[in-house]
Amino acid sequence: MPGSGIYLDQLLGRKEATFDVAKFSWIGSVDQRDLLLYMRADAPWKSIEDVLNSKEPPKCGSTGTSDLTTIVNNVVEETLGIKFQEVRGYPGGVEIDLALEKGEIHCRGTGITTHFAREPYFTWHKNGFDRHLVQTGNKKDPRLPDAPTLLELMDKRNTPGLSRNVAKVMLVSATLGRPMIATPGIPGDRIKTLRDAYLKAFKEPEVLEEAKKTKLDLSTLSGEEVETQIREVMNQPKEVIERVKKLSE
């Protein structure tokens, strides 16, 4: 189960991406999610507009170029002209949140479902530790009434079509959720067996019960649907790819 932004590393021509995502056997995906950019509540920026008008950009933590923080920050910069200072190299999300608690950084991007499913977020919300700046869904999540949607902000600023297409390419990572892949070259009948078993597993009563307890979303995508999304996102006009590359430098 690779990071959902794995296609971006290939699209951007990263030397470490010695693979072709179109050749993977995509089994399916769970946890499709819109993204959220959150910040320490005691940070000096109280809204996304404050960041726009600030001389000093907030520091956001990430693991690397396909991290959800990177994706949200790049999308916000492309569509709204708002820049964040990204601190890369953290091993994972836990370490980023610890850094945020220590005051090393101010903000992070993540999936909305994750942000409302576990600690430290339960405690954060209870204590008013974090503030929610922007969400990427077309409709507001009821748990984030004060965070404007990216679509609202783009419409307000009359974001041009090219920038909207760049955002769409980068946000496929959210739509993909948590994909499962197998190696290239697996016979078609075996891929079908794996795909069928994958979807069936998420309908098992004990799995549904566990998801309910942990507040996880089990909406799934079939392997065929994931494969279609991957092929579409990898087939982009040159100007879109070049713009995505420039944002990710």
Segment 167-186, tens digit of pLDDT: 988 898 777 888 999 999 99
How sure is the predictor about 94, in pLDDT bands with cuts at 50, 70 and 90?
very high
Residue 32 confidence (pLDDT) above 80: no
The CATH fold assigned to 1-249 is D-Maltodextrin-Binding Protein; domain 2 (3.40.190)
**Greatest CA span in the chain, whole angstroms?**
58
The residue extents of the domains of the chain are 1-249
Look at the alpha carbons of 235, 61, 64, 68 in this order and tell me if their dihedral is positive or negative.
negative
- Specify the DSSP element, H or E, that contains 39: strand 35-40
Give 248's contacts (C-beta < 8 A, 6+ positions apart).
8, 12, 65, 70, 74
Sheet holding 130-135, edge to edge: 85-87, 59-61, 107-111, 35-40, 130-135
Q: Residue range 60-88: average pLDDT?
A: 91
- Do residues 220 and 27 lie in contact, with contact meaning Cβ atoms separated by under 8 Å? no
pTM: 0.76
- Specify the DSSP element, H or E, that contains 175: helix 161-176
Segment 40-57, tens digit of pLDDT: 999 999 999 999 999 999
CA distances from 200 to 92, 195, 234 (A): 30, 9, 29
Give 151's contacts (C-beta < 8 A, 6+ positions apart).
138
Stretch among 4-13, 42-51, 71-80, 226-235 having the lowest mean pLDDT: 4-13
Give 208's contacts (C-beta < 8 A, 6+ positions apart).
202, 218
How sure is the predictor about 249, in pLDDT bands with cuts at 50, 70 and 90?
low
Rounded Cα distance between 128 and 225, Å, is: 39
